[in-house]
Amino acid sequence: MALTAGLSLLTLLALQAAAQEPLYVEIGKNLNLDPKSSETITAITWKHKGNIAAEYIKDNVPLEYLGDLKGRLKLDVTTGILTISNITKSDDGQFTVEVNNRVLPVKFNVVGVKKLVTVEVILRPLTCESETHNCTLSCGEDFKDAEPVQYFWKTGETEEWKEGEKTIRIFSEEEKKLGLRTFTCKAKNKFSEKQSGPLVNPFKNKESSGLSGGAVAGIVIIIILLIVAGGFIYWKFIYVKKNEGFASPRQGDGVKANGDESRALNMPEPGKDANSEL
């Protein structure tokens, strides 16, 4: 007798523990809540977070829906199954059911979950480079309404996925030793899984551009070209103009003649301007 009572208590506890588990539903989908009642239903009341959402009492209260969910509910009064269509995040919370004036032990802890759309590795700070001691890599933005989310990271192209945190920290010193490796992450929730593209180690990236022979040669060539171009521009627009415009007092006779010539050439200018204005 005592043993039977003990066992049924255990069963009840196990049922309750199971009932506390969240019931994950994809947002936008429909959900059927089945009370699995073995009795013939004469009265049924469904509650959401303690408030009546649907109620029916045979020969007494016609089937009616109440509250925020009204319009998206459908109750089968024979089976007791409540259907909620187009689940939203605000439908989160506990649903309980009362059949023939008795609260059933079953409880539905609904949690709406959004599907993941895109995932990318986000580097912080943005200026993460060789001089920065450490940087963080985050797998995606804030996945609001998509929780719970699991994260996996992979370094390099051939390595295995390893489950980890949303955000990992990488250290300049360590990464420089490990060489050019990439970081790729994967986010997974109840209804979807998305993988990022590979992010190249930011420390190594900056470092390698400084070391590469080709890059150095390229920079040297660009600098030489800039000097040549600068010299040409100086000669063409500043040096030549200066010598055409007027003579420096320190310059010799030959240059002075040059200066006189340009002054002579400049003389008709005002007159020409006046003519053209008239």
Ligand X SMILES: *[C@@H]1O[C@H](CO)[C@@H](O)[C@H](O)[C@H]1NC(C)=O
Which residues sit at the interface with ligand X, rule CB under 6 A?
28, 86, 88, 132-134, 169
What is the nearest approach in angstroms of ligand X to the Cβ of residue 177? 16
| 27 or 41: CB nearest ligand X | 27
Task: Choose between 26 and 98: whose C-beta lies nearer to ligand X.
Answer: 26
Query: For residues 80 and 112, which CB has a smaller minimum distance to ligand X in the complex?
Result: 112
CB of 179 to ligand X, least distance (A): 21
Nearer to ligand X, 161 or 171 (CB): 171
Shortest Å distance, C-beta 90 to ligand X:
8
Q: Which of 245, 189, 241 is nearest to 26 (CA)?
A: 189
Q: Which is nearer to ligand X, 85 or 101 (CB)?
A: 85
Whole-number Å distance between alpha carbons of 45 and 52? 7
String of DSSP letters for 209-259? HHH-HHHHHHHHHHHHHHHHHHHHHIIIIIIHHHHHH---TTS-HHHHHHH
Please give the DSSP secondary-structure letter assigned to residue 131. T
Whichever of 20 and 134 has its CB closer to ligand X, that residue is 134
Q: What is the largest CA-CA distance in the chain?
A: 132
Cβ at position 68, least distance to ligand X in Å: 11
**Which token pair is 27?**
């947002």
Q: Say which amino acid occupies 10.
A: L
Q: In the beta sheet, which residues pair with residue 50?
A: none
Q: How far is the CB of 135 from ligand X (least distance, A)?
A: 8
Buried b vs exposed e over 200-211: b needs ≥16 C-beta within 10 Å?
ebbbbeebeeee
Q: Counting every residue, how long is the chain? A: 278
Distance of closest approach, residue 86 Cβ to ligand X, in angstroms: 4
